[in-house]
Amino acid sequence: MWDAWKGLESFEVVERDDGYIDFIQGSGYLAPFEVWPEHEKKAMDLVRGRVIDLGCGAGRVSLHLQERGFDVTGLDISRLALKVCKERGLRKVKLGSIQSLRLQPDSFDTAIFFGNNFGLVGTPSKAKRVLRDLRRILADGGLILAETIDPYKTEEPAHLAYHRRNRKRGRLAGQVRMRVRYRQYCTPWLDWLILSRDELAGIVKGTGWKVGECLDSGEPQYVAVLRKV
């Protein structure tokens, strides 16, 4: 993200634990609203009140909402990502992980997981804990805009084989174990969770949230709207 912000060629290599490799261009973290996918644009019309952008990265969502007059805080585990946000003009940032949300009760009205960032919950059990934390943090009437990928909307043989591998291990098909590489840098192995709508509804059950509408992209990606109950 830092290199992309400085105008350098930037990319990341996503390595799955079965050896599958994918590439992501760093410039996507800086994408202006005009080039966002339509389902993300539509989701912006649902935002209300004070906003927490979870895994804010380079701040594309936070900055758009700040420009529209919202009170936005970008949260990320990366100090350098937050430095990019501040250099780009984001006024409020917070260093932290969604796995340990140290935020005051009723301090926000909308939580956003974009860029498929709902996957940051990691596992089904951790997802329930994060959702319960967010119920405490978000005020009555609060909502979560959770972008994820339906893992079953694929015909890629490598992905289908990975689903079978996961099921044999007693895991959901979309429980991904991966790490991210960039030049000489590499993250530790981490869990990333992608879910179908039915799986998401099952995980949300009992956490104080309900799944409302889902904004489709025409692709495997979608934004689920979770409403506090």
Edge to edge, the sheet with strand 72-76 lists 93-95, 72-76, 51-54, 108-113, 138-149, 221-228, 209-216
Cα dihedral value 73, 79, 85, 91, nearest 10: 40
Closest CA to 16 of 153, 155, 119, 98: 119
pLDDT recorded at residue 93:
98
What is the rounded distance in angstroms from the CA atom of residue 175 to the CA atom of residue 193?
Answer: 5
Per-residue pLDDT reduced to its tens digit, 118-143: 999 999 999 999 999 999 999 999 99
Domain count, the chain: 1
Domain carrying residue 100: 2-228
What CATH number does the domain containing 30 carry?
3.40.50.150
Chain-centroid distance, C-alpha 37: 15
53 in helix, strand or coil? strand
Kindly tell me if the per-residue pLDDT of 222 is higher than 90: yes
Does pLDDT of 112 surpass 90?
yes
Q: What is the pLDDT of residue 156?
A: 96
Instruction: Name the token pair of 27.
Output: 């410039």
pLDDT of residue 27: 87
What integer pLDDT is reported at residue 207 of this predicted model? 97
Mean pLDDT across 35-58: 97
Instruction: Supply angle C-alpha 68, 76, 219, rounded to 5.
Output: 70
Quote the CA–CA distance of 210 and 228 in Å, as a whole number: 7
CA dist list (Å): 224 to 9, 145, 181, 211, 213 = 33, 6, 29, 7, 6
Average pLDDT, the chain: 96
Mean pLDDT throughout 49-55? 98
pLDDT band at 26 (very low <50, low <70, confident <90, very high): confident
| 198-212 residue pLDDT tens | 999 999 999 999 999
Interval 166-210: pLDDT, tens = 999 999 999 999 999 999 999 999 999 999 999 999 999 999 999
* CB-based contacts of 147, cutoff 8 Å, min separation 6: 40, 43, 113, 114, 115, 116, 117, 118, 221, 222, 223, 224
Distance CA 77, CA 143 (A): 22
